[in-house]
Amino acid sequence: MKIGIIGLGYVGLPLALHFAEAGTEVYGFDIDSTKVDMINGGRSPIRYIPNERIAAANAKLTASNDPAGLSAVDGIIICVPTPLTHQREPDMTFILSTLDLIGPHLRKGQMMSLESTTYPGTTDEIICGFVKKLGFTIGEDFYVVYSPEREDPGNAKFNAATIPKVIGGTTPACLAKGKEVYSIIVQRLVEVSSTRAAEMTKLLENIHRSVNISLVNEMKIVANKMGVDIFEVIDAAATKPFGFTPYFPGPGLGGHCIPIDPFYLAWKAREYGLNTRFIELSGEIDNDIRNWVLGRIMDGLNGQKKALNGSRVHFLGIAYKKNIDDARESPSIWLMEAVKAKGGVISYSDPYLPTFPKMREHHLDLQSVALTPEYLSSVDCVVIATDHDDFDYEMVLRHAKLIVDTRGRYRGQAENVISA
C-alpha cells in the first residue's frame, strides 16, 4: 500500500513520518516548494521534528508539489487548514482548492480521508459531493472516511501512532478501507457510526478545552482582584482525585484549533435554529482576557509614571504555547499589535521563531532579539506571553524594570512583577 499525504505541516508531516517509519511508501504533497525541498534534502521545516528523523524517513518518503503523483497512491489523507472568515464562518477555501487540484488524478479503488477539523456534514456535503461528480460510486469503487487529527505539537509523551484515533466511514465498506490504512500505524482505532459523529467528536474535544480555558481565565481576573494566587488555587484543587481537571490560565486562547473550531459548530447549529451559548461566551471571555492583559501592561507602566505610548514593551515568546514554533492564532501576537496600535514600541524574543513568521493576517517586520542583561535593562516592560523553557527567567527577573507575567512563572513574588 502507498499513502498520499496532502499538507506537510504540523499534522501532515508527523503522519507521513509514522507511515514511512512503518515501512510504507509515502507521497507527501504540499504547494510550498521550500518545504518540499527541505524535506527531500533531509531537513525539517518544523523545529521539534529533528532533521535526522526526516533524513531517515527519506528512503520511503517523497515530498512533491506535483499532484499527479497522487494517482499512484492507495490512500489519500487531507491535512489542510480550516480557518474562519472575519465573520466567524467556516472558510472551506483550502479544502475546495485541494479537491480541485487533485480531482484529475483520482482513480478507482482509492480511499480518501479528511483530517482537518470542520463542521458536521463537511465530509458528506463537500468531499462525497465532489467524488460523486467525478463519477465514482462511494463504497464500491471509491472510499471516503473522516478521521480527525489529534496531533499535539511538541508533546513527547503522545504522538499520531499512540493516540487513539477516531474514524467514521461514509459506508461500512469505507470504514473497513479506512481502518486498513490507519491500522498500519495507529495502535487503537475508535470506530463511530458516521463521518458526522467523527466530525462532532473533534469539535467536542476542542469546545471542552475552549470553555474550560476561558473559565479559568475568568477565574484569574476574579482571583487577582481578590488578592488570591490563581495558580495556588488550581494546584490545591487538583489534589482532588475525582471531578476536577486542572486547566491553566494565560493571555488568551491560541493555536489553530481551540480559538477557531468551536465556531464551526456554532455556525452549523444556526442552520438548525439553535444558539450555542457556551461557545459564544467562551469567545467573549477570550476577548476580555486579552484586553485585561493589555490593561495590566498599562497599569504596570502607570505605576512607573510612564504611558504606554512611547514605552518599549518586549514580549517573551510569540508561539501559541511553549517549546514549539507554531504562532497561529497566538494571543502574543494580538497583544503585540494592540500595544503597537496604542503607540508602544514592540520587540520580542523567541528561540523557536527567530524571524516573525509569514501569516495571512499579521505582518510585523521583526526579528527575535537575544536576551542580555543590557537589553532587558533598556526596555520599559517585559511581557511573559509564552513561557518557553529556554528562557533564563532568573536573568529576566534580575534585570527587567517591569515584568507582566501572564503564565504564572513568578507568581508575583517580586516587586518588579505583576500578574496578568
Tell me which of 51-55, 236-240, 282-286, 293-297 is least confident.
282-286
Active site residue 257: yes
Do 187 and 335 reside in the same domain of the chain?
no
Q: Kindly provide the b/e burial profile for residues 305-317, where b requires at least 16 CB atoms within 10 angstroms of the residue's own CB.
A: ebebeebebbbbb
- What is the pLDDT at residue 126? 97
Same domain, 313 and 401: yes
316's grid cell: 517573551
Residue 331 included in any domain: yes
Q: Which of 128, 174, 257, 381 is catalytic?
A: 257
| Domain presence at residue 301 | yes
> Are residue 180 and residue 285 in the same domain, yes or no?
no
Predicted pLDDT of residue 412: 64
Task: Tell whether 275 is covered by a domain.
Answer: yes
* pLDDT band at residue 346 under the 50/70/90 scheme: very high
The CATH number of whichever domain residue 348 belongs to comes to 3.40.50.720
pLDDT tens, residue by residue, 359-395:
877 889 999 999 999 999 999 999 999 999 999 999 9
Clarify whether residues 28 and 154 are in a common domain.
yes
Question: In terms of domains, do 268 and 390 share one?
Answer: yes
Average pLDDT for 54-63 = 97
Q: Which domain holds residue 398?
A: 262-419
What is the total count of domains within the chain? 2
d(CA 418, CA 161): 42
**Taking the CA of residue 245 as centre, how many other CA atoms within 13 Å lie in the half-sphere pointing to its CB?**
6
The type of residue at 330 is: S
Per-residue model confidence (pLDDT) at position 314: 98
Mean residue pLDDT across the chain: 95
Judge if 186 and 268 occupy the same domain.
no
pLDDT at 303 over 90: yes
Name residue 63's beta-bridge partners: 28
Average pLDDT of the segment spanning 4-12: 96
- Evaluate whether residue 246 is within a structural domain: no
The helix or strand, by DSSP H or E, that contains position 15, with its residue range, turns out to be: helix 12-21
Residues 179 and 271 in one domain: no
**Residue 272 falls inside a structural domain:** yes
